[in-house]
Structure 1
Amino acid sequence: MFSQVSKRPWLIAVAISVLLLLWLLSGSLFKAQKTASADQPVVEQGLAKVEIQWLEAQPMQRQHVVQGQVEAWRRVELRAQISASVLRLDRDKGQPVEQGELLLSLSPDDRSAQVVRSEAEVRQRETDVDSARRLHERKLFSANELLRLDSELAKARAELATARLHLRNTRIEAPFAGVYDARQVELGDFVQAGQSLLTLVDIRQLKVSAQIAQQQVTQLTLGQPVRVQLLDGRELAGELHFIAAAADPDSRSFRIEVRVDNPERLRLAGASATLHIQTGEAMAHRLSPALLSLDAAGRHGVKWVNQQQRVEFTPVALISVDNQGAWVSGLPPRVALITLGQGFVEPGQQVLSQLANEGS
């Protein structure tokens, strides 16, 4: 037999390969069994053994974090009130302007002459009425005729006011201090009443608008401090100055606006920002999100061990989550949180608990 095998060396190689394969498989099986047993809770005296960690409630600042849009505090599009030609560009776009400053002039045409004619008409009517009143006092002028002259005087005064308004509308002035942001016409253009002429924005203050969920809006009050974080990392201090009285019918969220001072008139309008709204201090526990589980009703909660060494499940409210952990509320002030084996025990079950660092 041995001589036959020695004559066939390939049989020896096959035999060695089979033995090696069986040895590797036996090692993998042993490792798999060892790993599987590590995932299962250790049982002592018929009770599952779990690891716990004592957690104390800590004060933390509650806050809502929402995405918002930076807007100019005021933005107005100035339009022509009359039909005329652009006579003069008194200021150029992109410049800061003060309230009442002349920005653009339209051609007066015959409007100045119309004001002169209307003023003369008013003076004539006033003279007629004064004379009629003196005659009426002497019983030489009827009351009806005096009433007619008073009516004509009122009409002349109204026409004068209209003529003056039309003349004044040839001067396009800034209704508030701001930045001359855009111009839609050029020198010599003929514009119609209602046509857009230029845009003025006020960026001495900014407003950051956002939508906040209906579950969170009850925690907001006007005047709350808000931290505004820009995309480039800069932060601005603001305060909540507007909360919508009704929710958006589509999103069921409420519009809020935060007022931010901008004394340097930084060009931030139109940018995105993140709002950090402080809603007061609360006692909460900080833990790993991996320790959160769901009960039969689908509520988030954690499992812990009470003084009788029984498992408790307490639903919690998630306050905030970051890459360091999660803040939750709803737990007792001091709790023995199950950190290992919580997936294999149920509420009400008797267990043996051990501090997480005792077994190391």
Structure 2
Amino acid sequence: MFSQLSRRPWLIAIAVSVVLVLWLLSGALLKTQETASADAPVQAPGLAKVEVQWLQASPMQREHVVQGQVEAWRRVELRSQISGTVIRLDQDKGSPVKQGQVLLSLSTDNRPAQLAKGEADVRQREADAKAAARLRERNMISTNELIRLQSELAKARAELDLARIQLSHTQITAPFAGMYEQRMVELGDFVQPGQSLLTLVDISLLKVSAQIAQQEVTQLTLGQPVKIELLDGRELQGELHFIAAAADPDSRSFRIEVKVDNAQALRLAGASATLHIQTGESLAQRISPALLSLDKAGRHGVKWVNEQQQVVFTPVQLISVDNQGAWVSGLPNKVALITLGQGFVEPGQQVISQLAKGSN
């Protein structure tokens, strides 16, 4: 073979050229790989990657939103104090009534006679007591006799008062102005003491009651304005007039009541409503509720990345929730919130963060 190549020197030149080209290409490739390795970032093995979004806090009104129940300002169930027959329905149920107006009448039976007898007994006892007092001044009767007659007078007066009360109970009157809401008896019914007769409600004012969490009740003050949102979209304005001094033992929440003026006598008692209670301005960020998580103590919070590229968990307070997201407070004014991968990292863990697409 060598003798053949020696007779054809042009083949030697071609072979040498191919070797040189391959050597040059291998060197250039090696240099390219070294350059690429030098330019590539050094990544420690095992570091998790997360996406973050920078959030800046902005001022907003703190607001507690709770579900409540609209109630009549006053509601009373009137019961019979005596036995008797319903002889007259003085007012129709569903009608407005004034304080002191007769709503229903019961039979008087022998009560007028008992009243007349009581009045006569009192007149007789008064005359006896006066005569005895004059006789005592002349030492014509004993002190004990005078005291006995005076005691009989006092007893007669007490019986007269009782007869008057019994007779007054035959007419059921309105203890306050309101609406004749319900009647439990009909004309001719015989009723016993303690039996329910009718219901009277006062809706000139309304109260909206709700339960508020124990961690939020300290932010409330009596007299502060409250917006009431009804199911049909109407809004009413009221003020907080009652905060329970003790929490409900079962729910650990506090009952609150909001007073609402109802000059138009709107029939709202018994309806559901949403209470919006503003408690001042604070700095907050809007986040997706899906980014909220719980720590080992059961507190709501979010995870973010600090300057050392470490995961931090910060408990937050939920201020309000709407269709666009949740407003929370408690985070730094500017924070790199983890938006992707928060479920796979733990507080204190070193991570590699990168801005989420579309973030500034």
The interval holding the TM-score normalised by the smaller chain is 0.7 to 0.9
**Structure 1 residue 95, shift from structure 2 partner:** 0.3
CA distance in 1, matches of 2:131, 2:297: 93
Q: Whole-Å Cα distance in 1 between the matches of residues 69 and 345 of structure 2? A: 47
2 CA distance for matches of 1:255 and 1:229?
Answer: 18
Q: Structure 1 residues 117, 312: CA separation in 2 closer, same or farther (over 3 Å shift)?
A: same
1:313 is matched with 312
TM-score with structure 1 length normalisation?
0.79
| Partner in structure 2 of residue 189 of structure 1 | 189
| Counterpart in the other structure of 1:20 | none
* Alpha carbons of structure 1 residues 50 and 44: separation in structure 2 relative to 1, 3 Å: farther
1:92 is aligned to 2:106:
no
- Which residue identity does 2:310 align to in structure 1? V
Identity %: 71
Cα separation, partners in 2 of 1:87 and 1:357, compared to 1, 3 Å? closer
Q: For 1:52 and 1:256, how far apart are their aligned partners in 2?
A: 41
Give 1:188's aligned amino acid. Answer: G
In structure 2, the gaps of 5 or more residues are 1-39
Distance 2:191 2:294 in 1: 67
Match of 1:38 in 2: none
User: Does 94-103 or 310-319 show the bigger shift?
Assistant: 310-319
Shift of 1:252: 2.3
The offset of 1:311, in angstroms, is: 3.0
User: Secondary structure of the residue that 2:337 maps to in structure 1?
Assistant: strand
Match of 1:239 in 2: 239
Cα distance in structure 2, aligned partners of 1:152 and 1:112: 22
The corresponding residue for 2:41 is 44
Counterparts of 2:219 and 2:190, CA distance in 1: 54
Partner SS for 1:112: helix
Give runs of aligned pairs for residues 315-334 of structure 1, distance below 5 A: 315-319=314-318, 320-334=320-334
SS in 1 for 2:99: coil
Amino acid at match of 1:229: E
With over 3 angstroms needed to count, the CA separation of the structure-2 counterparts of 1:345 and 1:90, relative to structure 1, is: closer
Question: How do 1:69-80 and structure 2 match up within 5 A?
Answer: 69-80=69-80
Q: Which of these two proteins has the greater Rg computed from alpha carbons? A: 2
Q: CA offset at residue 304 of structure 1?
A: 3.7
What are structure 1's unaligned runs of at least 5 residues? 1-42
Residue type at the aligned position of 2:262: N
Please say if residues 52 and 356 of structure 1, whose CA atoms lie closer than 8 Å, have aligned partners that are also in contact. Answer: no
Give the equivalent residue in structure 1 for 2:214. Answer: 214
Equivalent position amino acid for 2:322 in 1:
D
1:107 equivalent in alignment to 2:113: no
Cα offset for 1:221? 2.4
Shift of 1:292: 3.9
SS in 1 for 2:265: coil
CA contact (8 A) 1:180 1:201 kept: yes
- Offset at 1:305? 4.2
Compute the TM-score of the two structures, normalised by the length of structure 2. Answer: 0.79
Provide closer, same or farther for how the CA distance between residues 248 and 91 of structure 1 changes in structure 2, counting only shifts above 3 A. same
What amino acid is aligned across from residue 176 of structure 2 in structure 1?
A: F
- Tell me the distance in 2 between the aligned counterparts of 1:273 and 1:358: 39
Match of 1:200 in 2: 200
Look up the match of 2:141: 141
CA distance in 1, matches of 2:326, 2:316: 10
